[in-house]
């Protein structure tokens, strides 16, 4: 597995990655589950990562980029006809 962008989140990311790979290969691909059982672990990782990005001021840069590219995003994700 790859490391997290924030080293302090490596442990929760590793737990999520392991859970997801096991669920995906053993249940989802075999059609026995469509419910992502690892969502609570993903949520914990996302929370850790968001906190780390915020502490470094990176969240503000991300928000600025997202705002600057709203029109491009809307163009590329609009439903095809």
pLDDT digits (tens, 9 = 90+) for 7-19: 999 999 999 999 9
pLDDT mean over 18-22: 94
pLDDT mean over 23-41: 90
pLDDT at 73 (0 to 100) = 66
Q: Is the pTM of this model over 0.85?
A: no
Q: Is 37 left (phi over 0), alpha (psi -120 to 50) or beta?
A: alpha
C-alpha 76: how far from chain center: 20
Q: How confident is the model at residue 80 (pLDDT cuts 50, 70, 90)?
A: low
Q: What is the pLDDT of residues 41-76, one digit of tens each?
A: 999 999 999 999 999 988 888 888 888 877 776 666
- Domain boundaries defined on the chain: 8-77
Number of helical H runs and strand E runs in the chain: 4, 0
Reading the block at residue 13, the tokens are 């990311």
């Amino acid at each position: 597995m790859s490391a997290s962008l924030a080293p302090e989140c490596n442990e929760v990311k590793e737990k999520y990655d392991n859970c997801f790979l096991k669920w995906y290969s053993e249940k989802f691909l075999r059609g026995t589950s469509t419910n992502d059982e690892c969502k609570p672990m993903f949520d914990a990782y996302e929370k850790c990562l968001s906190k780390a990005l915020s502490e470094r001021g990176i969240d503000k840069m991300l928000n600025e980029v997202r705002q600057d590219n709203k029109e491009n995003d809307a163009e590329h994700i609009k439903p095809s006809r």
